[in-house]
Structure 1
């Protein structure tokens, strides 16, 4: 008996076995047992399992029905699945919607219209005449939608409409292809499903009403779900006139809108606020996500909660201090010193000069509008009249020109803050709860001009030595980092940026410094105050674990967890009705641990606390100027600020400016000037001088930036050697490459350069990734694959291990079989990509790290496997498909080149060349990445490819 795949259709999945002369073959042995004509099915099985659509278990491949329906005819044949069913779906609604008996009937017909009798359906398969046939995905989706609709309770109108909408969504493409027909209500109703909203505030004074604008949460744009007329019918009329929020709204003309259950709950909370004061409504507008989180409780998933509210541009134009970059309207008044807290942010004067006499005004984006004291009430009245009339701006004459001032509530608040600052400058120091108008914190952004500068103020400090509570011995570079922290604190720097390469221990350096501060407080040298650590959600528990690992009791003291259950215990309701936190509890803490999102949502409460130190972990989270997350971070009241990030420049130099501005305001000037100087026309020498100005010690004064690389600071780390492997393209690959070149030369449409580069990248890897044949033939067709396997042959002979990086999922699956067969591995090589869940990913890492001392290989996607993994059992890295960003590629190499590696590391780069000596795409890309990498290290040049880089790569590869 020869080998063959055998499939059995079951209710939950399809069971597939590889049957051989002696029975079923264990799935681990399929790649080394199956004959060449079945290898396509073996590789497909590996890909489906890696993507989570199937499970390899024992001798079985268990394929979900949805996955089976989505296979192409060629893929289905490779696994011996039944042939496609030659049928058409006919769907007809029955009964009256909202009543018992409503549903849909599904009948199967031949393309000729003849009915198919005696059909039995099981998931994605139909049994016709005693034989199974596979449904293509479009017909499977229709059948599933009919089943879901028919399962809705008779009294659930919203569920019936949602089910009908889902059915209507999958029908059109099938109908246009002739695969389905429809009748009944399916052709006469329009049903829109809403699961997100933004907010508008219409009207004036006590008559102002909140108006929700409906959206689809998964939509790529902020375009509202309803057109203008239907939105007015829903928001202005039905939502505010009906006493309760409904699950379904009838908007006329057979048009229905259905609210998802979480959205209905959220809008019910918004509806309750309609009968409260305008101040309460504005509190909701100022911080809608915090309001929803408080109102809906912890039973709503965080991802659902974040997606419920859409920050549209209309909302940004309306709410004071939301933090979107354009436009900013903030109060401006000239006074010598700075108070960082609150929307009443002003300069307070210790001199005898009266605040009312100081020049001042408001800032509109990049424009400063000076206002005399008697002009403020006039402008305020004009703004209020414009708001009532729905006019967007007010023309205001200042000096010899007319300025269009936005007619918005943030402008009114700015005018109020300006008046308060002039008449009662001491009001800015009052507790936030004494204000009558709730707002989020405003900041001076330093974006168009320098408005606030970080100042040096020497601080008392204990001896510059490691803290006694430190339980882990610091490495030399970590001890150097601690000393740098201590000296920066002592001389009075506002803050610093630790940008060490990944794997050098930024966390332990930060903990050691904070422990030193805490001991200084205990001894009375430093005034007692809490410290705040802000980190991404996924790293909070890691900070707790690292604290307990590296510090002895008492460490940093008692931790207040402002996240999860700990956050629930801190929640309060402010006098103005806004959700808030117990600021007194925060102020009484030893150290507080929270997320960036929580800091954003409760910025006023965190802002009331003076922190001795504020540490931002993964500080690239605040790299974007003008968004609320960044503004909230910059608005905090901290004596000393620390930013930790291994990537201070991720995409553009403004990343560096924004992070630096968060720890030492204005050190790099204003953003507009900085961008003009360094980003508009990047100059290597200028960028080198910039780096030197940031990381060089001057007269014993510690620099703002400390950045060390592993290769320089870990002398015990084995050396890494880059091995460039070149080989000419074989004839099939060369022909495919030349065809891509010819088409690229003729392309004139928009996006042609990126499309051409993508095609060149694909065929430089392999000319035909779906080719069927022997393994040797498939490898021989690609210069890069041949070079990679030559390297793997040598690695296997030495019983060492390799990581192989490429992003193509189909090629990843193909490699699994190629490697297992070539090296007769007992189990397939493991794969880590974006489709592998976190727990499975860690299990594969553990298995790889704990395996026996023999050859093994792991296949990884650059972005999914390039961070957060330690894979030091491998000492070879093969970059089979290059990524555009050298920083990402270095992160991939960093999986093996880190503390714990004991062997020399080889980095293999296979490159396909052209036989005639012209520079190939691979050679041009390698040169470009090498240049970007060098400039990234030497001059803080952004690693991401620019348009100029892409054009150079295109012209260098396509030129005749």
Structure 2
């Protein structure tokens, strides 16, 4: 049983219906007195209108009996009553009135123009206080003051052709209506030169986090955007008869009634006042009309802005009780409605307040950044540095090796003890704090509990973190962001470190599309079988209501294509349900390393149908500069980027560094999907990059990485804590249970991730190329053990003797391992060779087993006219080797080198040149960490590991630069192994190979970290203690 209303010229006909068999039946007005509960109180209120002379009995010639409420009375109905009897919400249209001619002229005329939310001129139909447009599909009501003004204008226009006295008489209601709307009299000399009116019936809160808790201002809206809407933009619920049963949060800025400049003008008046007015002057002849109920709500907002921090936090969490209380105090009960007994004030509050997308629930405030103290999460000790590599410390690039690192650590320790704020590093004065960040990230200094984000400087190649200045190790980044201050304020989130403070749950989502791969409709490329399965898994996880998932496919399986198809599918799903355009738009956020952003753009253009992802905004490089805004006072960080433009996009591309630097602006955007490519970038708990990622407000999160465990199992926890917060419990308990767990615990963890139950899609999908790709050519790994020449064998024996006579502490063992690694590559300094002299090159090569085998392999590759990738860490060795190779093989130019000093765009240009080069022999020299991720180099079908990284996951990444979808030739991975003639299997290279293969085998069958604390002791023991 329920009420309905229909507009006719005389007023609104209100009828009460009840279901009788298969049809609705009208209940006579005289029977309304026998109703009970809510319907009885509503009927009593309506009948009181009849007693007051504002309504009459209506018999609609076969439509059944109803109550005819005059339009004058209808515009005065409380909002909750109007909605309950089916009156359309306050219209979203704005109107402009302008006068043509003289007021007393027979042909004087008031022109009324109507505009929709997009400021497009329309011609609506009006029946009293109800207007309709879009071929009758949309309807809205006028507020009392605007209704009276429009009625008066139409009556004046109807007097055209009459004598001046009649025209003056007809003009007087226009004069009164203008005064009621604006609070001003129409000047005699300009009448209505140009009058624009906006009517506000609802509001949203635009919330900003500050150091003193939340601050907020009202965004005025038309009532149509409030909760309980019934427009045709509502999504289709999964099991409801009426699509409007689902209420969506809105976007305060995108849905605002006023243009940005007029909204700002309103706020300037609002914050200065102690009481809300009926109308506001927004500009010359531009006015905002505030409905009575909304005026009370705005007064509450003004009062709460001045309240204590705890009271403001409570108000932001749930504003409705405070609004309802104010409505109750001002008008405790509408006569005949008994509001207090029936809760009508709560309903009225819900109609006044638009639920909008604000910060993610995980965000709890703003604070000065302090690195959290995690004493139970120690840096793995089984790591060693490469032979020689660059790191960025402040504005200086410092080349590190074992000797230099010890020197810098010693100087850093003395500077701390002396309290010096600066220290000298390789002749340059650098902040002691910055040196500490870098040493900490390399595992060479203990973490400082209050330090800012450590410089995420993996040897030779990570991107510059948010706290580091841009430069050689930035790989492009923003291209313009300077170092962030140590006192930077960041969004505070619930961390889940020592307790599960935050879990993100989600109800099942509605899908109107098939879960099959959308070939043809959304994509132009044909997927491989495993990509069809991966897409179906993503779609099923989305529908099942997972907050996010981890796509951990092996490198080269086409994760990007699967993800793009999924993003297009989500957008089309939302579009079909009215959620992809206008007020309901939620963009997609794609976060990736700089070198991969162009790949995302190219892959979308290659694989997707045109425009299926909609409008793209590039929040990086030059595109970022176009998004920057002048910093307006105290809210500079929230407004550092044009949030309105971000919200208007369909998909946004950015880097991890940009996201960290501008996370307070990005956090104000509600995203339908947040995708984190190479998600190992957010594997470190308690860093700004990770915290920024976790502060994003996303309905669904897709994390993607081929190496979910790069160093330790905590990496996996951290990534999953972005995808599904709380799913793996607290970090402390996770580390305790699994990081030193036996096979049973590791199998338990794997089951939880990829086989949780038979009813729910797994939260993680990981497939290996060797298991599923039938289309790839054969791959062979050739390991050739080469005896060390005399000079190298002698240098190795000396290093072994030094290790046997040395200590057994962690640092002693690390020094020994570094010595073994260096000698096993080459026993002499590179300064002893002239790479342009063939004889000098041959002599230099002849002193290294690895170099001799590498040159032999390159000769075979050259004879076949094929291409190779040579992975080598030592920067000086890279240059010498590339030049020496050019000399030995009489190449036209020196092979290109990709390492951490090569910017992202330059790397891509080098790869493009290599990929598109004519057939024939060629090679690239690459650093494992700098070039092991994000590059597709299928022109090569040979990989040579001249030096090996300590982590099998990194080595596999290097192999997969050429062994991936798109490769058509058999691939050979060459591993030259230097063997001491006397020690044989106890040689360092052999021991390292044995350890890496064992780890690689274990990681294929269970979730095991590729680097463990025991690795160093194993390597040292086998290399030093063997008989």
Give the TM-score range, shorter chain.
0.5 to 0.7
Cα displacement (A) at 1:496: 0.6
Map 1:4-403; keep pairs closer than 5 Å: 305-307=481-483, 309-311=485-487, 322=490
Superposed CA deviations along residues 407-443 of structure 1, whole A, max 9, x for unmatched, are xxxxxxxxxxxxxxxxxxxxxxxxxxxxxxxxx4x32
SS at 2:709's partner residue? coil
Which among 556, 577, 581 is matched to residue 613 of structure 2?
Answer: 556
Give the Cα separation in 2 of the matches to 1:832 and 1:301: 17
Q: 1-side partners of 2:755 and 2:430: how far apart?
A: 58
Q: Could you tell me which of 587, 597, 619 is aligned with 1:531?
A: 587
2-structure distance, mates of 1:595, 1:850 = 27
- Shift of residue 566 of structure 1? 6.0
**1:642/1:948 Cα in 2 relative to 1: closer, same or farther (>3 Å)?**
same
User: Is residue 531 of structure 2 the alignment partner of residue 464 of structure 1?
Assistant: no
C-alpha RMSD of matched pairs (Å) = 4.0
> If you compute each CA radius of gyration, which structure gives the higher value, 1 or 2?
2
Structure 2 CA distance for partners of 1:570 and 1:805, relative to 1, 3 Å: closer
Q: Which residue of 2 aligns with 1:932?
A: 999
Q: 2:754 aligned with 1:701, yes or no?
A: no
- CA 1:598/1:905 → structure 2, altered by over 3 Å: closer, same or farther? closer
The verdict on how the C-alpha distance between 1:670 and 1:789 changes in structure 2, with shifts beyond 3 A counting, is same
Per-residue CA deviations over 1:682-738 (Å, capped at 9, x if unaligned) read 434432331232123631421111122233333111111111211332332221111
Distance 1:561-1:452 versus aligned 2 partners, 3 A rule? same
Q: CA deviation at 1:918?
A: 5.0
Is structure 2 residue 699 aligned with structure 1 residue 633?
no
Relative distance call for 1:199 and 1:554 in structure 2 (3 A) is closer
5 Å matches for 1:832-851?
832-836=898-902, 838=904, 841-851=907-917
Q: CA offset at residue 846 of structure 1?
A: 3.8
Aligned residues of 1:733 and 1:782 also touching (Cα < 8 A): yes
Equivalent of 1:948 in 1014, 1020, 1027: 1014
> Corresponding residue for 2:219?
none
The offset of 1:526, in angstroms, is: 6.4
Secondary structure in structure 2 of the residue aligned to 1:912:
strand
Whole-angstrom distance in 1 between the partners of 2:921 and 2:853: 18
Aligned to 2:774: 715
Equivalent pair of 2:617/2:646 in contact (CA under 8 Å):
yes
Match of 1:900 in 2: 966
1:796 and 2:862 are equivalent in the alignment: yes
Q: Report the more deviating stretch, 897-906 or 460-469.
A: 460-469
Q: What's the offset of the Cα at 1:868?
A: 3.3
Aligned partner of 1:738 in structure 2 is: 797
Q: Indicate conservation of the 8 Å contact 2:587/2:652, yes or no.
A: yes
Counterpart of 2:504 in structure 1 is: 454
**Separation of aligned partners in 2, 1:702 and 1:784:** 47
Range that drifts further, 506-515 or 587-596: 587-596
2-structure distance, mates of 1:839, 1:569? 21
Q: Structure 1 residue 871: deviation in Å?
A: 2.8
Whether 1:651 aligns to 2:651 is no
1:648 to 1:452, Cα distance in 2 relative to 1, 3 A? same
Question: Structure 1's 491 and 780: CA in aligned 2 closer, same or farther, altered over 3 A?
Answer: same
Whether the 8 Å CA contact 1:872–1:898 is kept in 2: the answer is yes
> Structure 1: how far apart are the matches of 2:881 and 2:468?
48
Distance 1:696 1:200 in 2: 38
Give the match for residue 504 of structure 1.
557
8 Å CA contact 2:558, 2:965 repeated in 1: no
Q: Does structure 1 conserve the Cα–Cα contact (< 8 Å) formed by 2:587 and 2:648?
A: no
Whole-Å separation in 2 of the counterparts to 1:217 and 1:851? 36
Query: Residue 766 in 1 paired to residue 819 in 2?
Result: no
Give, in whole Å, the separation in 2 of the partners of 1:227 and 1:767: 38
- 2:955 alignment counterpart: 889
Please state how far the C-alpha of 1:549 moved relative to its aligned partner: 3.3
- SS in structure 1 at match of 2:986: coil
Tell me how far apart the structure 2 counterparts of residues 301 and 705 of structure 1 sit (CA, whole Å): 29
Conservation of the 8 A alpha-carbon contact between 2:467 and 2:484: no
Mapped pair 1:487 → 2:508: no
Q: For the residues of structure 1 that align with 2:504 and 2:675, how far apart are their CA atoms?
A: 17
Residue 897 of structure 2 corresponds to which residue in structure 1? 831
State the number of aligned residues: 562
Q: Displacement of 1:598 after TM fit?
A: 4.7
Task: Verify the 8 A CA contact 1:217 1:307 in the aligned structure 2.
Answer: no
The DSSP-based 3-state class of the residue aligned with 1:756 is helix
Q: For residues 589 and 678 of structure 1, do their structure 2 counterparts lie closer, same or farther at Cα, with a shift above 3 Å needed?
A: same
SS of the equivalent of 1:307 reads coil
What SS is found at the alignment partner of 1:669? Answer: coil
Q: Measure, in 1, the Cα distance between the counterparts of 2:746 and 2:855.
A: 41
2:528 to 457, 475, 483: 475
Deviation at 1:792, TM superposition (A): 2.9
Look up the match of 2:315: none
Select which of 678, 683, 687 maps to 2:738: 678
Counterpart-to-counterpart distance in 2, 1:494 and 1:230: 47
Separation (CA, whole Å) in 2 of partners of 1:574 and 1:825? 57
Which of 569, 574, 578 in structure 2 is aligned with 1:516? 569
Quote the residue 1:780 is aligned against.
846
Q: Where does residue 50 of structure 1 map in the other structure?
A: none
Distance in 1 (CA, whole Å) between partners of 2:777 and 2:967 is: 7
Structure 1 contact 290–602 (Cα < 8 Å) conserved: no
Contact 2:592-2:676 at 8 Å conserved across structures: no
1:534-683 to 2 correspondences below 5 Å: 534-536=590-592, 538=594, 539-563=596-620, 564-565=622-623, 568-569=626-627, 571=629, 577-581=635-639, 586-601=646-661, 603=663, 605-679=665-739, 681-683=740-742
Q: CA deviation at 1:753?
A: 1.4
Q: Deviations over 1:487-544 (max 9, x none)?
A: 0011111111112222222222222112112212222286844133141462444434
Q: Secondary structure at the match of 1:906?
A: strand
| Matched-pair contact (CA < 8 Å) for 1:725–1:911 | yes
- Offset from partner CA, 1:7-31 (integer Å, 9 cap, x none): xxxxxxxxxxxxxxxxxxxxxxxxx
Structure 1 residue 449 displacement after superposition = 0.7
Instruction: Provide, for residues 142-198 of structure 1, a one-character-per-residue CA deviation record: whole Å limited to 9, x for no partner.
Output: xxxxxxxxxxxxxxxxxxxxxxxxxxxxxxxxxxxxxxxxxxxxxxxxxxxxxxxx9
Contact 2:591 2:655 in 1 (8 A): yes
What is the distance in 1 between the residues matched to 2:919 and 2:648?
53
TM-score (norm 1): 0.53
- For 1:488, what is the secondary structure of its paired residue? helix
Contact persistence 1:806–1:859 (CA under 8 A): yes
Tell me the SS of whatever aligns to 1:458.
coil
Q: Does the CA contact (< 8 Å) of 2:468 and 2:483 recur in 1?
A: no
| Counterpart Cα distance in 2 of 1:845 and 1:599 | 27
- Asked whether the 8 Å contact 2:796–2:824 carries over to 1, the reply is yes
1:299-318 alpha-carbon deviations (Å, 9 max, x no partner):
x995674325235xxx7xxx
